[in-house]
Amino acid sequence: MLIRFWGTRGSIATPGESPVRYGGNTSCVEAVTDSGRRFIFDCGTGARPLGGYLLGNAPKPIELTILLSHTHWDHIQGFPFFAPVFIPGNRITMCGPKGANGSLPEVLAGQMEYTYFPVDLASLGAKIEYRDLTEGTHDIDGVRIAVQYLNHPAVALGYRIEADGMSLLYLCDHEPYWEPLWRSDQEPGRLESILHDGDRRHAAFMQNADVVIHDSQYTPEEYPARKNWGHSTYTYVVGMAAAANVKRLFLTHHDPTHNDEFLDRIEEAARGVAAAAGSSMKVECAREGFEEKFNTSASGVTSDAESQLNAVPSAEPAHSGSMLILMIDDDEDLRILARKSLTKAGHRVIEADGGAEGLKMVAEHKPDLILLDLFMPPPDGFEVLRELRSNETTRLLPVVVLTAHGDEEGARKSFELGATDFLAKPFSPPQLDARVRACFAHAQRQ
Ligand SMILES: [Zn+2]
Ligand SMILES: [Zn+2]
Q: Which ligand is nearest to the CA of 217?
A: 1
| Euclidean distance between CA atoms 119 and 116, whole angstroms | 9
Q: Tell me which amino acid residue 414 is.
A: S
Q: How confident is the model at residue 428 (pLDDT cuts 50, 70, 90)?
A: confident
What is the Cα 164 distance to its own chain's centre? Answer: 24
| β-strand pairing of 136-140 with 38-41 | unpaired
Q: What is the mean pLDDT of residues 418-439?
A: 91
Q: Which ligand is nearest to the CA of 152?
A: 2
Q: How far does residue 215's CA lie from ligand 2's centre (Å)?
A: 10
Q: How far does residue 186's CA lie from ligand 1's centre (Å)?
A: 33
Q: How far does residue 446's CA lie from ligand 2's centre (Å)?
A: 28
Q: Which ligand is nearest to the CA of 27?
A: 1
Cβ–Cβ under 8 Å, residues 162 and 61: no
Cβ–Cβ under 8 Å, residues 5 and 189: no
Does pLDDT of 310 surpass 90? no
Q: Which ligand is nearest to the CA of 434?
A: 2
Looking at residue 18, its pLDDT comes to 77
Which tens digit of pLDDT belongs to each residue from 353-410? 999 999 999 999 999 999 999 999 999 999 999 999 999 999 999 999 998 877 899 9
| Euclidean distance between CA atoms 416 and 275, whole angstroms | 32
Gyration radius of the chain's alpha carbons = 22
Q: Which ligand is nearest to the CA of 253?
A: 1
Q: Which ligand is nearest to the CA of 153?
A: 2
Q: Which ligand is nearest to the CA of 10?
A: 1
Cis peptide bond N-terminal to 255, omega within 30: no
Cβ–Cβ under 8 Å, residues 397 and 443: yes
Cis peptide bond N-terminal to 105, omega within 30: no
Cβ–Cβ under 8 Å, residues 66 and 40: yes
Q: How far does residue 311's CA lie from ligand 2's centre (Å)?
A: 28
| Euclidean distance between CA atoms 300 and 144, whole angstroms | 15
Q: How far does residue 230's CA lie from ligand 2's centre (Å)?
A: 7
Cβ–Cβ under 8 Å, residues 421 and 435: yes
Q: How far does residue 89's CA lie from ligand 2's centre (Å)?
A: 32
Q: Which ligand is nearest to the CA of 41?
A: 1
Cβ–Cβ under 8 Å, residues 85 and 128: yes
Q: How far does residue 73's CA lie from ligand 2's centre (Å)?
A: 8
What's the CA angle centered on 420, arms 415 and 426, to 5 degrees?
A: 90
Looking at residue 299, its pLDDT comes to 46
Select from 435, 7, 4, 437 the least CA-distant residue to 215.
Answer: 7
Least confident of 124-133, 301-310, 341-350: 301-310
Q: How far does residue 190's CA lie from ligand 2's centre (Å)?
A: 28
Looking at residue 100, its pLDDT comes to 65
Q: How far does residue 396's CA lie from ligand 2's centre (Å)?
A: 30
| Euclidean distance between CA atoms 405 and 407, whole angstroms | 6
Does pLDDT of 307 surpass 90? no
Q: How far does residue 240's CA lie from ligand 2's centre (Å)?
A: 20
Q: How far does residue 208's CA lie from ligand 1's centre (Å)?
A: 25
Q: Which ligand is nearest to the CA of 97?
A: 2
Does pLDDT of 350 surpass 70? yes
Mean of pLDDT over the chain:
92
Cβ–Cβ under 8 Å, residues 413 and 382: yes
| Euclidean distance between CA atoms 322 and 330, whole angstroms | 24
pTM of the model: 0.94
| Euclidean distance between CA atoms 388 and 308, whole angstroms | 28
| β-strand pairing of 369-373 with 2-7 | unpaired
